[in-house]
Amino acid sequence: MKLIRQLADFPESLRGCAVAIGNFDGVHRGHGVLIDQLKSFASELGGAAVVFTFDPHPVRILRPEETPPPLTWTNRKADLLAELGVDAVVAYPTNKELLGLSYQDFYQQIVIDALGAKAMVEGPNFFFGRNREGNTDRLQELCDANEVRLKIVVPREDEGELISSSRVRRLIQAGDVDSAVTMLTQPYRIRGLVTHGAARGATIGFPTANLDAIDTLVPAMGVYAGRTYVDGGSYWSAIHIGPNPTFGESHRKVESHLLNFEASIYGKSIEVDFVSRLRDIRQFESPEMLVQQLKFDVDSTREIARNFDGQL
């Protein structure tokens, strides 16, 4: 899978592609339906399945105060799309010049001139061009005029509600990663740099990796079961988000206790998946009672791991 950041680098071999344009934040199952149609078009054309996305999200430039916290960083998004079978992802460096194009100019310059697209796949709420003036009706007119095939995909629902990035974001903000996992194509993931903390976890037998510089949405405070990825390895983990009130702390931290792992990883960049929520943060009457709860959290994580993929 090719990740392309400049249209000048778009290879001639990919022209004549089928393309889907959008943000694809989180890469959820609704996106998966769209990608299935994209691959079908690409197969019929004998061309590539290409996703054109924006980096950063256009709202960050147009209305920065309204920018939603992202669910994925660009390389993660590209990896998830690759797992769905996309051949190339264009992560266009969003700027005011691009966002100032009329919908006709956007279509001509991006879809026709730069990509040479022969087919497009979009959802019914697709808008493009300056002030979102382009909609699916206008897109159909442009595609008809340029002999480009177009398919508007019916959105996917879960329990009667559309699967969307906004819905996934609300679930994660509420700490409901269990529901989010059912809507995403892969468990929700964050990344960060391991920094020194109070080292209190190590003194009570539960050393943790403290994450800093996290650039995506952090789930609600609580304790979670998930996986930590470091140095090419994957380790089931009990993850703590929030303060440690038992020791009088009030500031929020993100800490991951890696199971069956003992190496020092200070200064390393790691990634953490969230599979299931275990409990809320609370204050314990003593460090000993906290230790008992942490043992239970680890046992719960091991049980989830066994059910999830047979590990541990």
User: Per-residue pLDDT tens for 74-126?
Assistant: 999 999 999 999 999 999 999 999 999 999 999 999 999 999 999 999 999 99
The arithmetic mean of pLDDT across residues 59-82, rounded, is: 94
Is beta strand 269-279 parallel, antiparallel or unpaired with respect to 188-195?
antiparallel
Q: What is the pLDDT, as a whole number, of residue 185?
A: 97
Q: Catalogue the long-range contacts made by 232-240 (C-beta closer than 8 Å, 24 or more residues apart).
A: 233/261, 235/259, 235/260, 235/261, 236/260, 236/301, 236/302, 236/304, 236/305, 236/311, 236/312, 237/272, 237/301, 238/206, 238/278, 238/294, 238/297, 238/298, 238/300, 238/301, 239/272, 239/274, 240/208, 240/281
The arithmetic mean of pLDDT across residues 268-295, rounded, is: 95
Contact, 306 vs 228, CB < 8 A?
no
Within 13 Å of residue 112, how many CA atoms lie on the same side as its CB? Answer: 15
Q: What is the pLDDT, as a whole number, of residue 199?
A: 61
2-156: which CATH number, 3.40.640.10, 3.40.50.620, 3.30.420.40, 3.30.365.10? 3.40.50.620
Q: What is the pLDDT, as a whole number, of residue 250?
A: 74
Q: What is the pLDDT, as a whole number, of residue 42?
A: 98
Of the chain, the percentage scoring pLDDT greater than 70 comes to 97
Q: What is the pLDDT, as a whole number, of residue 310?
A: 59
Of the spans 157-171, 266-280, 297-311, which averages the highest pLDDT? 266-280
pTM beyond 0.85 = yes
**pLDDT level of residue 287 (50, 70, 90 thresholds):** confident
Q: What is the pLDDT, as a whole number, of residue 6?
A: 94
Give yes or no for residue 311 having a pLDDT over 80: no
The arithmetic mean of pLDDT across residues 168-193, rounded, is: 97
Distances (CA, A) of 140 to 38, 42, 87, 162, 240: 16, 18, 24, 23, 49
The pair of structure tokens assigned to 192 is 């960060």
Q: What is the pLDDT, as a whole number, of residue 198?
A: 63
Q: What is the pLDDT, as a whole number, of residue 98?
A: 95
Q: Distance between CA 139 and CA 149 in Å, rounded?
A: 11
Contact, 111 vs 138, CB < 8 A?
no
**pLDDT level of residue 26 (50, 70, 90 thresholds):** very high
The arithmetic mean of pLDDT across residues 182-195, rounded, is: 97
Distances (CA, A) of 216 to 97, 237, 290: 26, 19, 29
The pair of structure tokens assigned to 88 is 């190339």
Q: What is the pLDDT, as a whole number, of residue 200?
A: 66
At 18, the amino acid letter reads A
The CATH topology of domain 187-309 is: Elongation Factor Tu (Ef-tu); domain 3 (2.40.30)
Computed over every residue of the chain, the mean pLDDT equals 94
Domain boundaries, the chain: 2-156, 187-309
**pLDDT level of residue 208 (50, 70, 90 thresholds):** very high
Is beta strand 269-279 parallel, antiparallel or unpaired with respect to 157-158?
unpaired
